[in-house]
């Protein structure tokens, strides 16, 4: 997947091709879900917010300029949606709801371990300062460069690098012993 | 060098762990890391933390997918409808520039045409070019008519006036003799006409 493909899909959708939108949605729903879930700490809520993100994209289709990188654009929209929600609810993303969908064919023990891992990671993420968490999530799920993250969040590049550095190290220390289990 | 913290590690190690360093910077950082335990540990911890984040894969949207697709289809239908009324390709800056230049060129052509029409040489200012009266049965050329004894005074004076204002025309026709005779005759007529009044 590359930026040219994304631009072609957006252009196709602008010309009325619904399949192009579906392709974009299939491409970005997973990373967006991970990013938003990390921001709000709730998977079900993250689904709603990702849906709202796509709805905003549909409504504001004319706002998207072809020269923009779609990945950066859609993650900016998702970030705004998540921030709006957190402001509206005055929520801190500490409450965790890691309800995993029933994946048929998976071993129940494996599913339980996966759920545990997610809970541990989400807890660790929730314990990070919001600024550090945001940079880490944008870098990891959004696959945005640090320069893009700096531009999007309105901070200097060095600050973005520092937040990621200290955030990841803190995340690693928070995961503690559990980290070994996560990797395995 | 301290094993706890390295100032270079903050930016350098972060970009290295994220895979954002270019080939040369990566090589330089590897050389640095070989002698810096703090950076070695920082990179390892960051990579471990990023690996841990990979468990946050929540899969695809479970709910709302159908609603999204319906909304997208409605918008797409609206776009298709609107597309029937507008140009398919959005106007780019160079298209606008070309269109603007065309307008400017068209305006310039019109201006030049108006100027040329205004400045067009006219035998007499403020009036049409003199023409010999086309009377049936008469010789139209006033000069010939003068010679034939059927002079039309108005036409002939107009012709003389033209020759006067024409400058070179008088000189060119002076050799013919008939124009000189006509001039003399006109002057005599004018003197005669003015004499009773005075």
My answer on whether A105 and A21 are in the same domain is: no
What sign for the dihedral angle of Cα A78, A84, A88, A89?
Answer: positive
Report how far residue A37's alpha carbon sits from residue A50's, in angstroms, rounded to the nearest whole number: 9
Tens digit of each residue's pLDDT (9 = 90 or more) over A147-170 = 888 988 889 998 999 999 899 888
The answer for A 79-118 residues in CB contact with B (under 8 A) is 101, 103, 114, 117-118
Tens digit of each residue's pLDDT (9 = 90 or more) over B46-63 = 888 888 887 777 776 766
My answer on whether A11 and A92 are in the same domain is: yes
User: Of A65, A97, A129, which residue constitutes the final position of a domain?
Assistant: A97
Report how far residue A28's alpha carbon sits from residue B107's, in angstroms, rounded to the nearest whole number: 51
Selection from B1, B68, B84, B72 nearest residue B38 by Cα: B1
My answer on whether A50 and A19 are in the same domain is: yes
Residues of B at the A interface (Cβ-Cβ below 8 Å)? 9-11, 13-15, 17-18, 20, 42, 45-46, 48-53, 55-65, 67-69, 71-73, 75-77, 79-80, 83, 88
Tens digit of each residue's pLDDT (9 = 90 or more) over B120-154 = 665 555 556 666 556 555 555 656 655 556 556 66
Residue A26 has pLDDT above 60, yes or no: yes
DSSP string across A130-184 = HHHHHHHHHHHTS---HHHHHHHHT--HHHHHHHHHHHHHHHHHHHTTHHHHHH-
My answer on whether A92 and A124 are in the same domain is: no
ipTM above 0.90, yes or no: no
Q: What is the mean pLDDT of chain B?
A: 72
What is the extent of the structural domain holding A7? Answer: 1-97
My answer on whether A142 and A86 are in the same domain is: no
My answer on whether A133 and A165 are in the same domain is: yes
Q: What is the CATH number of the domain that holds A27?
A: 1.10.1740.10
User: Of A40, A73, A97, which residue constitutes the final position of a domain?
Assistant: A97
User: Of A36, A65, A97, which residue constitutes the final position of a domain?
Assistant: A97
pTM: 0.58
My answer on whether A68 and A52 are in the same domain is: yes
The number of distinct structural domains making up chain A is 2
Report how far residue B154's alpha carbon sits from residue A112's, in angstroms, rounded to the nearest whole number: 119
Q: Nearest chain A Cα to B62, which residue? A: A47
- Cβ–Cβ below 8 Å for A18 and B73: yes
Residue B172 is predicted with a pLDDT of: 41
My answer on whether A110 and A170 are in the same domain is: yes
- Cβ–Cβ below 8 Å for B58 and A183: no
- Cβ–Cβ below 8 Å for B52 and A169: no
- Cβ partners under 8 Å of residue A25, min gap 6: A54, B61, B65, B68, B69, B72
Within chain B, residue ranges assigned H as helices are 7-8, 14-18, 23-33, 37-53, 65-83, 93-119, 142-147, 153-166, 168-174, 178-197
């Amino acid at each position: 997947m590359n930026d040219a493909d994304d631009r072609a899909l957006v252009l196709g959708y602008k010309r009325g091709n619904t399949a192009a939108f579906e392709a974009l949605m299939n491409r970005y729903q997973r990373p967006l879900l991970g990013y938003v879930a990390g921001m709000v700490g709730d998977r079900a809520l993250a689904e709603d917010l990702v849906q709202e993100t796509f709805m905003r994209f549909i409504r504001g289709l004319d706002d998207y300029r072809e020269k923009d990188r779609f990945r950066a654009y859609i993650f900016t929209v998702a970030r705004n949606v998540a921030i709006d929600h957190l402001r509206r609810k005055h929520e801190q993303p500490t409450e965790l709801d890691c309800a995993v969908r029933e994946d048929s064919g998976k071993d129940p023990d494996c599913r339980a371990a996966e759920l545990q891992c997610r809970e541990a990671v989400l807890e660790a993420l929730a314990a990070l300062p919001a600024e550090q968490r945001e940079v880490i999530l944008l870098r990891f799920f959004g696959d945005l460069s640090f320069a893009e993250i700096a531009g999007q969040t309105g901070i200097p590049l060095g600050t973005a690098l520092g937040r990621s550095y200290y955030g990841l190290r803190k995340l690693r220390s928070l995961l503690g012993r559990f980290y070994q289990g996560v990797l395995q | 060098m301290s094993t706890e913290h390295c100032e270079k590690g903050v930016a350098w190690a972060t970009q290295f762990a994220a895979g954002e360093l270019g080939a040369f910077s990566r090589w330089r950082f590897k050389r640095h890391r070989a002698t810096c335990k703090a950076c070695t540990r920082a990179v390892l911890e960051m990579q471990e933390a990023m690996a841990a984040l990979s468990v946050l894969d929540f899969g695809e949207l479970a709910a709302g997918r159908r609603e999204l697709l319906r909304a997208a289809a409605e918008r797409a239908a609206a776009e298709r409808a609107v597309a029937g009324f507008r140009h398919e390709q959005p106007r780019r800056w160079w298209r606008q520039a070309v269109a603007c230049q065309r307008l400017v060129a068209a305006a310039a052509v019109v201006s030049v045409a108006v100027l040329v029409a205004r400045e067009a040489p006219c035998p007499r200012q403020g009036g049409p070019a003199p023409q010999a009266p086309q009377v049936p049965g008469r010789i139209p050329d006033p000069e010939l008519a003068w010679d034939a004894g059927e002079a039309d005074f108005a036409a002939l004076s107009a012709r003389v006036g033209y020759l006067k204002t024409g400058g070179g025309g008088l000189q060119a026709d002076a050799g013919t003799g008939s124009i000189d005779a006509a001039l003399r005759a006109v002057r005599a007529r004018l003197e005669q006409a003015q004499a009773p009044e005075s």
